[in-house]
Amino acid sequence: MTKATAQHRVFLFLQGPHGPFFHRLGQMLRRTGAEVWRVGFNAGDRAFWFHPQSYLPFTAPPADWPDHLRTLLSEKRVTDLVLYGDTRPLHAQAVAEARARGLTVHVFEEGYMRPYWITYERGGANGHSRLMQMTVPEMRAALERSDMEAPLPPGHWGDMRQHIFYGALYHWFVLFRNGDYRAFRPHRDLSVAREFQLYVKRLLLMPVNRAERLIETLRIRLGGFPYHLALLQLEHDASFRQHSPFGSMTEFLDLVIEGFARGAPGHHHLVVKAHPLENGQFPLRRAIRDTARRLGVEDRVHFVPGGKLAQLLNDARSAVTVNSTAGQQVLWRGIPLRVFGRAVYAKPEFVSDQPLAEFFAQPTPPDNRAYKQFRRYLLETSQLPGGFYSARGRRQLLRQVVDMMLAPHDPYDALRHGTAAPRQQLRLVR
């Protein structure tokens, strides 16, 4: 397929992050001369797309989507597909059809080194990313063409409150304004009503949860004991559901606590940290307590309900996770890490493959030099400073992502060929 110019490119947007980011992105692409369309599957999609002339509602049952998509791609002469995440069924079907037609697939995701960056790739993300097949020596060779200084994270940045707010608002529209989309089915097991309730509950309980986290974190930091971290994920997250060997977070917790009980020295403790967006659907605290009690380590296992990771990481002996992006923060500090799922950072140079009891007893440290090369490679390719949810994060992101989308090569090939769009250094914010 001959690459089209911006004036002859047609971008078809599917579902995006909650909030106005996809609208702003489409608006900027339209200014380049490209044609932009958006498929909406529910009232939440429609609420955040403020260009009605380009909005295409899909109101039929999900079984009709593949035929509808093929017609749409042909009639609109689509050259580029844009979506957030590539595993939800509607998106996976669209990616397969786009690949069969030779279209360019632009995939956005939360940053592999979140919360200070987002991920932009072509073709796939997470377990479907090109990074899965790349080796550290290949990345090292590509970096020889660049002398850019890898940016440090800012002193203060984040959009968790905005993320939760837009999530609640999105689900409000789906719950109360979805009359035109009666055939819509969410890609998660939770009902829309239940998910809306959980978002609202999180918003209302943020002050209480913050106080609880501070008290528990302080208790751990003042405890004077060595500890290991277990980093949990959202059970409905695509990385967990599609790229891990576990059917539930309970399976992972049982494995970790049992490995800790069998292998860790008797004076060591285990700190289980929930995901910052954990919705409270599953009683994690009780499950952890029951398993720890059954294995005789109840007084050595602690639970922290979400919050930021840095304070706990600074003194941790090791960390275990399924495939959370938080693993990058672990490796950045040179802390031993054990993962159980497919992850872009699960390279043999810096991720342990020890049996879990052995890992807790004497964890193998990462190769810091190799990890820093990997990190720099990501920051010069698929990781862009900014965010989807806050106005400041969107502004930062939009300053460079459109040029990358219009470039002839994806971020990885662009670095290798020396054709990468100009990158902005991340300025420290105090």
Average pLDDT over residues 114-119: 87
**Tens digits of per-residue pLDDT, 372-395?**
999 999 999 999 999 999 999 999
57: nearest Cα among 80, 40, 69, 44 = 40
pLDDT at residue 397, as a whole number = 95
In the DSSP assignment, the letter for residue 317 is S
pLDDT band for position 12 (cuts 50, 70, 90): very high
pLDDT at residue 44, as a whole number = 96
Same CATH fold assignment for domains 10-161+382-417 and 207-374: yes
**Tens digits of per-residue pLDDT, 63-112?**
999 999 999 999 999 999 999 999 999 999 999 999 999 999 999 999 99
Assigned token pair, 266: 């008797």
In the DSSP assignment, the letter for residue 41 is S
Alpha carbon distance 168, 149 (integer Å): 38
Alpha carbon distance 390, 395 (integer Å): 9
Alpha carbon distance 108, 86 (integer Å): 9
Of 164 and 96, the one with more pLDDT:
96
State the CATH architecture for 207-374: 3-Layer(aba) Sandwich (3.40)
Contact between residue 6 and residue 406 where contact means Cβ atoms under 8 Å apart: yes
Average pLDDT over residues 138-153: 79
Instruction: List, as one string, the DSSP characters of 65-132.
Output: HHHHHHHHHHHTT--EEEEE-S-SHHHHHHHHHHHHHT-EEEEEEE-TTTTSEEEEEES--GGGSGGG
pLDDT at residue 113, as a whole number = 87
pLDDT at residue 369, as a whole number = 95
Percent helix / strand / coil, the chain, rounded to 5: 45, 15, 40
Of 4 and 32, the one with more pLDDT:
32
379: nearest Cα among 194, 119, 126, 192 = 119
**Tens digits of per-residue pLDDT, 167-220?**
889 989 998 999 999 999 876 655 666 666 666 666 666 677 777 778 888 889
Instruction: Show the DSSP H helices in 134-191 as ranges.
Output: 136-143, 160-176
pLDDT at residue 201, as a whole number = 66
H or E stretch covering 13: strand 10-13
pLDDT at residue 187, as a whole number = 64
pLDDT at residue 204, as a whole number = 66
pLDDT at residue 238, as a whole number = 73
Alpha carbon distance 199, 161 (integer Å): 11
H or E stretch covering 25: helix 21-31
Which pTM value belongs to this model? 0.87
**Tens digits of per-residue pLDDT, 327-364?**
999 999 999 999 999 999 999 999 999 999 999 999 99
pLDDT at residue 427, as a whole number = 44
Assigned token pair, 300: 């050595």
pLDDT at residue 11, as a whole number = 98
pLDDT at residue 196, as a whole number = 67
Of 277 and 135, the one with more pLDDT:
135
Mean pLDDT of the chain: 89
Backbone φ, ψ for residue 338 (5° rounding): -120, 125
Average pLDDT over residues 234-238: 76
pLDDT at residue 153, as a whole number = 61
pLDDT at residue 221, as a whole number = 86
Rounded to 10 degrees, the C-alpha dihedral 193/195/200/202 comes to 160
Residue 228 has pLDDT above 90, yes or no: yes
pLDDT at residue 241, as a whole number = 82
Alpha carbon distance 306, 233 (integer Å): 10
Of 154 and 429, the one with more pLDDT:
154
115: nearest Cα among 145, 74, 157 = 157
Looking up tokens 């044609």 gives 35
Number of H helices, E strands in the chain: 16, 12
Alpha carbon distance 197, 186 (integer Å): 15
Contact between residue 34 and residue 7 where contact means Cβ atoms under 8 Å apart: yes
Q: What are the structural domain ranges in the chain?
A: 10-161+382-417, 207-374
pLDDT at residue 159, as a whole number = 82
Class of domain 10-161+382-417: alpha beta
H or E stretch covering 23: helix 21-31
Tell me how long the chain is: 430
